[in-house]
A and B are shown apart, each in its own frame.
Chain A
C-alpha cells in the first residue's frame, strides 16, 4: 500500500508529462507537415531550419 502511494501518483505524473509534451509539440506546429518532415531528414544542410 505504501509503495502504491508513491508509485501510482508517479505513474500518472509521468503520463501527464507525456501528454503535456504532446500538446506543446502540437502548438509548436510540429504536425503541420508530416510528409515534409519525413523527407527533410534526408537533407544534410543546416540552412532551412525555421
Chain B
C-alpha cells in the first residue's frame, strides 16, 4: 500500500469521520434470533414529516425490520439483520435523505426507572390526596359523628397506599442520610408524614373529632411534583448531552500479515498491531508511524493549534485527527492504556472541586430540621407538663411539624432550578448536575482553555489586505479541490469576495506538502515554503500555519493563517470585567499563539505550554486562595482541570472525556452564553434566598398558632397550600428574561470590537 498521493479530496468531506456499518454493528445491541438493535442520534429531526421520511427510508433498507423515530430524544431505533454478512448502512441512508446522524456518545437510556417510579408515586399520591381532601371537606363542613367516623376510616384506607408506596423514596433517602450522620430535607418530611399518619389512625380508632390524613398525603403529592419536574429537566439535559456525537472511534483498522484490513473493536486491539489510519479519522491508540506521512491536528489532545507533520518513526497519540493522507502505525500500547486512559486516571485522582460542596437545600435542612424537631419536642414536653394530657401534647407537637411544613423549603430550590434549567436549555446550555447552578452563582474567576474554546478549529486568513485578488483567486480555486482546512479557508475567502474560479488543466494534492496545479506550461504550487518556493525569510506574526503560492518556483504571495476566535468572546470578556470577574487563559499551546489570541480578545493574564497536571495545579492554587473558579475547556488535556474547578463548562464540540467531566455543555457557537448562564444563575440564587425568606416568614407567623394549639386540620391545609403556591409563583418569575439588557450592551460593544481588521 502506498500513500504518496491521494487523489483530489471531495469537497465537503467532514473532519469527523462518519460512522461506518462496521462501527454501527460493533455498537449494536443483540436482541437474539440474529436480530440486532441500533440507536442513532439524529439532531436535525424536528417535525412530523421528518419522522415519516426517516422511518420510511430506514424501513426500506434491506435487512431493517422496523425503525421507530423518537422526536423527544431526537433518536431513531432500528432493528436489523445482517444481509450477506453486511450490516445495513443506516447512516448513509439517512445522509441520502439529508439527515446527519451519529452514534450517541453514551448509551441513551430509553427507560428511565427513576422517572417512572416518581411518576407512578405522583399518580398514587395524587389519587389518594384528592379523594381524602373531598372527604375531609365534608367533615369540616360539619358531618355528624357517625359519618365523620366513616369518612375518617375511609381516609385512613385511602392514605395507606400513599404513605406506603408514594412516600417510600423519601423514607429511604432520609434513612440513608441518618445512617451517615447527615441531615437532609427528607428527614423532617418523613418524620412529619409518618407521625401524622400514626396519630390520625389512633384518632380515628378513638373517634376523635380531627384527623390529619389530608395533610400528610398532600405534602407528599406536592413534593413529588417538584421532584418529578426536577428529574425530568435533568434527564432531558442528560439525554441531550448523550446524543452528541462520540468523537473517539469505537474500533480500528487492523492490518494483518497478508495485508488485508479488518475493522476490529478497540477492545481487541493489542500492542504491536499494525493499524491503518484513514484520512480524516482519529488515531485510535498511541503508536509509532511505520508507513506514510501526514499531518495531525492535536488540538483536542494537547491544545496545540499548529499541526504536526509526521513521518516514519514519529510518535502519535490517541485522539489526534489525521488531516493528511492515510498512514500506518504500530500500536505501542493497547487503547485502554493510551494517553486517553492516562487522563481518565488523572480525572479519578484529581481533587474533585465539588466533592465537599453541599447543596443549599441540604445546608438549609441541616439548620431547619433540628430547630423544627426540637421545637415540636419542646411543645410536646411543655403541653404534657402543663396539661398532663399526652394525646393533646402529641397532637400539638405533630401540628407543629406539619404546619412548619417543609413543602415550601422542599420546593424552594428545585422549583427555581427547574425554571432556570428550562430557560438555559432553550438557550442551548445543558446542566448535567443539580448543584451546578448554585456553584455557578458563586464564581469570581473564569479560566479559559484556548484551542477549541476561545477559538474554533477553523483557520482564518490573517493578512487578506496584503494579498492581491488575482493571487487569492488562484489559491482559492486550487483549495476548492482539497479537504485540507487551510484550503477550505482559502476557498471560503474567495467565495466571500465573489471572485471568478480559475480553471486549471490539472490539479493534484501531494500529501504533507500541498497542492500543485498547471495551466499550460505554468506550474502553480500552494503549500509549504520549502517545497513550493526557494526559501525566503519573511516576518510571520503568529504562524498557526502559513502557506505560500508560487509560480514555477517563484513565490507570489504568503498566506498567513491564524485561529478563528469564537463569536461573542470579546463581549463576554468585557461583560465579565464589568462584573469584576477575573479572566485568565490556561493553554497547552505555544506561548506565541496564546499571547496572540489573548491580546486579540483582551485578556491580560495567560499561561501557556501547560501540561494537563499543571493546569490542574494552577486551578487548585487559585482555589486554595479562596477563589471560586469556573473553567471553560474542551480538550482531552482539560478534563482533569474541568473536574478540579469549582464549576466547569465545555462546548458541545469538546472531547468525550471533557464533556463528561464538565457540569455544563453548551451547544451555542457563541461563547456569550457563559455570561448569560452566570447572570441567570445569580438571579436564581437571589430567588432561592427569597423563597427561603418567604418560608421563614410564614413559619414565624404560623408557629405561635401551632404552639398555642389553635391549628385545626383545615387551617393547616390552607396554610400549606398557600405557602407552596407562593414559592412556585416566585420561582416562575425567573422565566422572565434577565440578561436582555446586559446582552444587548455586550453584543453592541462586541460588534464594535469584532469588526474584521
Binding site for B on A (CB under 8 A): 1, 4, 8, 11-12, 15-16, 18-19, 22-23, 26, 31-36, 39-43, 45, 48, 50
CA distance A3 to B731 in the complex (A): 45
CA distance A4 to B147 in the complex (A): 9
Of the residues A16, A26, A33, A45, contact of B52 by C-beta under 8 Å: A45
* B530 in contact (CB, < 8 A): no
* B707 in contact (CB, < 8 A): no
Residue interface mask B10-33, A partner, CB < 8 A = 1:
000000000000000000000000
Assess A19 versus B71: contact at CB under 8 Å? Given A26-B116, A39-B48. Answer: no
CB distance from A3 to the nearest CB of B (A): 11
Contact B131 A50 (CB under 8 A): no
CA distance A12 to B130 in the complex (A): 10
Q: Give the chain A neighbours of B360 by CB distance below 8 A.
A: none
Assess A36 versus B127: contact at CB under 8 Å? Given A23-B120, A43-B48, A48-B52. Answer: no
Of the residues A26, A33, A40, A45, contact of B120 by C-beta under 8 Å: A26
Contact B72 A32 (CB under 8 A): yes
CA distance A42 to B70 in the complex (A): 15
Closest to B73 in A: A33
Assess A35 versus B71: contact at CB under 8 Å? Given A12-B158, A23-B120, A23-B123. Answer: yes
Majority-rule SS of B interface residues? helix
Contact B131 A12 (CB under 8 A): yes
CB distance from A33 to the nearest CB of B (A): 4
Q: Give the chain A neighbours of B130 by CB distance below 8 A.
A: 15
Of the residues A15, A36, A48, contact of B72 by C-beta under 8 Å: A36
CB distance from A46 to the nearest CB of B (A): 12
CA distance A31 to B73 in the complex (A): 12
CA distance A1 to B154 in the complex (A): 15
Assess A33 versus B71: contact at CB under 8 Å? Given A1-B146, A39-B48. Answer: yes
* B255 in contact (CB, < 8 A): no
CB distance from A44 to the nearest CB of B (A): 10
Q: Give the chain A neighbours of B158 by CB distance below 8 A.
A: 12
Closest to A19 in B: B127
CA distance A12 to B150 in the complex (A): 14
CA distance A36 to B48 in the complex (A): 7
5 closest A-B pairs by CB: A36-B71, A39-B48, A42-B48, A35-B71, A33-B70
Contact B70 A32 (CB under 8 A): yes
Contact A39 B51 (CB under 8 A): yes
CA distance A1 to B73 in the complex (A): 53
Which B100-157 residues have C-beta < 8 A from chain A? 110, 116, 119-120, 123-124, 127, 130-131, 134-135, 146-147, 150, 154
Closest to B126 in A: A19
* B1 in contact (CB, < 8 A): no
Residue interface mask B423-461, A partner, CB < 8 A = 1:
000000000000000000000000000000000000000
Assess A26 versus B119: contact at CB under 8 Å? Given A15-B127, A36-B72. Answer: yes
Which B30-76 residues have C-beta < 8 A from chain A? 47-48, 51-52, 55, 66, 68-73
Beyond known contacts A1-B146, A19-B124, A31-B119: 18 more, CB 8 A cutoff: A4-B147, A4-B150, A11-B131, A12-B131, A15-B127, A15-B130, A15-B131, A19-B123, A26-B119, A26-B120, A32-B70, A35-B72, A36-B51, A36-B71, A39-B71, A42-B48, A43-B52, A48-B68
CB distance from A43 to the nearest CB of B (A): 5
CA distance A18 to B154 in the complex (A): 19
CB distance from B602 to the nearest CB of A (A): 42
Q: Give the chain B neighbours of A15 by CB distance below 8 A.
A: 127, 130-131
Q: Give the chain B neighbours of A4 by CB distance below 8 A.
A: 147, 150
